[in-house]
Amino acid sequence: MPRATPAPLQLLFPPFSLPLKYKPHPISNLTSVPVRSSILCSPAVCRNSSTDSPHITTPLPPPSSIYIHLPFCRRRCHYCDFPIIALGSSSRHYDDDPRINNYIRLLLREIRATKPYSSLQLPIKTIFFGGGTPSLVPPRLIASLLDTIRTKFGEVAADVEVSMEMDPGTFDAGRLEEMVGVVGVTRISLGVQAFQDELLRECGRAHGRREVDEAIELVSSSHGPRSWSLDLISSLPRQTEEMWEESLRLAVSAGPQHVSVYDLQVEEGTKFALLYTPGEFPLPAEAQSANFYVMASETLKLAGYEHYEISSYCKPGHECRHNITYWQNEPFYGFGLGSASYINGVRFSRPRRLKQYEEFVKDLEAGNMSAKSNASIVEDKEMAMDVVMLSLRTAKGLDLKSFQRSFGESVVLSLCRAWRPHVESGHVVALDEERKAISIGKFDLELNGDCQLGRRVAFLRLSDPEGFLMSNELIAVAFGVLSP
């Protein structure tokens, strides 16, 4: 499903679904994620599958999450820079479209030709179908992908989260019921983006308000999944605070268990990049974008949603488990056009163009993929920066003891000293083991060596919303320490 690149205020965060939009940052950009709920190119895009990382002496656990890119859309949205295949808007469903059938066959070949990372494969915990608009793909073909995953990677957890991005106007009650009740989709990410027809037209979306209302009614019904998310984009061209307030209010009234809120990022090569300059009318000024972010945080928290990640809100127990894999810098498999894998400290990305992707699959089947030519090893310094960046996306924040075990006490001490002014200003919050805030005085005791580092301060997180709004600057401070 098309979407904007989440980047509260164009922060540095990666897009999620990582497997697609990771740019280094990315998995992709600190706060911007086209939020795709996928990482088409997640954590920094690199190259593939089951390779060993020379600088890692102890093998990391095998992936238990899988991202699958389904690139089909009715048309390209004006903000979208993902690798997609536009099918046209002449049909509601495309069950017999040869472009879809041929791509799925190619995708199945890639999955079958991929060498599992380890014979000790963990049960698959999450599977994410991102796009594109995966709901355009017939349920029988989604089922064939899931069957192939089970055959290739073995056990799938009993409580596996199977997420799918769906757009209004691309499914009816029968299709939804088959996806959920027969195929096994457990979570839907509904790409609403806005509730105003004029904004949807401005974005080049293929649906309007009527389709939005119909889709919400369907996913909220007995045909719907256990959990569903509603996606919104702020800072759109000509979007007013009144429009944004209305979208937030209608999102809450729709009753999703999860809401993703992305700030528009104008990507090079998109139609918006040709038409608009960030910060200039009809795009909002930075101060207005910041206000949109604050409005979302206040409105959704007041409605009972937990702000568990910079762009993500959920009712208790309804976090997107797949995206948590990215934020915790855990390994994952990626399959399909433009997708990325992260396995044992190695990143691997697939081609973004279909012809090159076809050649990639042929090479994979022929055994011509070598770690040396196709993989990018994540060195310790880059790994540390990834951990900091991804951790600060979340309400949990950076686990200092874990970070110290991996990268050393001196690095943690240097980070704490660099962030001290921001702890004092309230943009960075120091927490103890019980996640209670620590005063600046006690924080200074840590820095002055009065006690062993980490005894009092267990976590550092960004305050909400003020710290999140400064995430670019605060991440830059950390990068200055980690890569001077």
pLDDT at 309: 97
Return the higher-pLDDT residue of 208 and 32.
Answer: 208
Per-residue pLDDT, averaged over 344-370, amounts to 89
Structure-token pair, residue 318: 């309804």
**pLDDT over threshold 90, residue 465:** yes
Per-residue pLDDT, averaged over 459-474, amounts to 95
**pLDDT over threshold 90, residue 409:** no
Cβ distance 167 to 188 under 8 Å? Answer: no
pLDDT at 43: 31
User: What pTM value is reported for the model?
Assistant: 0.88
- The vertex-133 CA angle with 327 and 49, nearest 5°, equals 50
Q: Is residue 369 part of a domain?
A: no
Cα–Cα distance, 126 to 146 (Å, whole number): 11
List 85's β-bridge partners, or say none. Answer: 72
Cα–Cα distance, 254 to 244 (Å, whole number): 15
List 346's β-bridge partners, or say none. Answer: 343, 377
Q: Is residue 278 part of a domain?
A: yes
Domain end, chosen from 304, 325, 346, is at 325
Cβ distance 474 to 467 under 8 Å? Answer: yes
- Half-sphere exposure in the Cβ direction for 22 (13 Å, CA): 34
* Residues 164-175 pLDDT 10s: 999 999 999 999
Same domain (yes/no): 308, 397 = no
Of the candidates 84, 86, 89, 90, the one whose C-alpha atom is nearest the C-alpha of residue 70 is 84
The domain total for the chain is 2
Cα–Cα distance, 211 to 201 (Å, whole number): 13
Please report, in angstroms and rounded to a whole number, the separation of the first and last CA atoms in the chain. 39
pLDDT at 380: 84
* Residues 103-139 pLDDT 10s: 999 999 999 999 887 767 789 999 999 999 999 999 9
Q: Is residue 380 part of a domain?
A: no
Q: Domain with 207 in it: what CATH number? A: 3.80.30.20
Structure-token pair, residue 344: 């044992």
Q: How confident is residue 96, by pLDDT bands cut at 50, 70 and 90?
A: confident
Distance between alpha carbon 484 and the CA centroid of its chain, in Å?
28
Per-residue pLDDT, averaged over 265-284, amounts to 94
pLDDT at 417: 93
Q: Is residue 298 part of a domain?
A: yes
282: cis peptide before it, omega within 30°? yes
Q: How confident is residue 453, by pLDDT bands cut at 50, 70 and 90?
A: low
Of the candidates 224, 188, 142, 148, the one whose C-alpha atom is nearest the C-alpha of residue 37 is 188
Cα separations (Å) of 385 from 53, 322, 395, 403?
Answer: 18, 21, 18, 11
Same domain (yes/no): 291, 435 = no
Same domain (yes/no): 195, 276 = yes
Q: Is residue 261 part of a domain?
A: yes
Same domain (yes/no): 244, 144 = yes
Cβ distance 6 to 311 under 8 Å? Answer: yes
**pLDDT over threshold 60, residue 27:** no
Cβ distance 387 to 373 under 8 Å? Answer: no
Same domain (yes/no): 122, 40 = yes
To the nearest whole percent, how much of the chain has pLDDT over 90? 71
Cα–Cα distance, 27 to 35 (Å, whole number): 11
Residue appearing with tokens 């996606």: 231
Cα–Cα distance, 15 to 234 (Å, whole number): 15
Rg (CA), the chain: 22
Same domain (yes/no): 141, 251 = yes
Per-residue pLDDT, averaged over 61-73, amounts to 95
Query: What region does 304 belong to: left with phi over 0, alpha with psi -120 to 50, or beta?
Result: left
pLDDT at 369: 72
Mean pLDDT for all residues in the chain: 85
Q: Is residue 475 part of a domain?
A: yes
Domain end, chosen from 309, 325, 341, is at 325
Work out the angle between the directed axes of helices 286-302 and 241-254 (0-180°, nearest 10).
30
Cβ distance 29 to 44 under 8 Å? Answer: no
Same domain (yes/no): 318, 396 = no
Per-residue pLDDT, averaged over 290-309, amounts to 98
Same domain (yes/no): 163, 57 = yes
Cα–Cα distance, 161 to 321 (Å, whole number): 7
Cα–Cα distance, 345 to 17 (Å, whole number): 19
Q: Is residue 337 part of a domain?
A: no
Per-residue pLDDT, averaged over 166-194, amounts to 96
Same domain (yes/no): 289, 157 = yes
**Structural domain containing residue 477:** 392-482
Domain end, chosen from 291, 309, 325, is at 325
Same domain (yes/no): 299, 406 = no
Q: Is residue 373 part of a domain?
A: no
Same domain (yes/no): 35, 122 = yes
Same domain (yes/no): 309, 425 = no
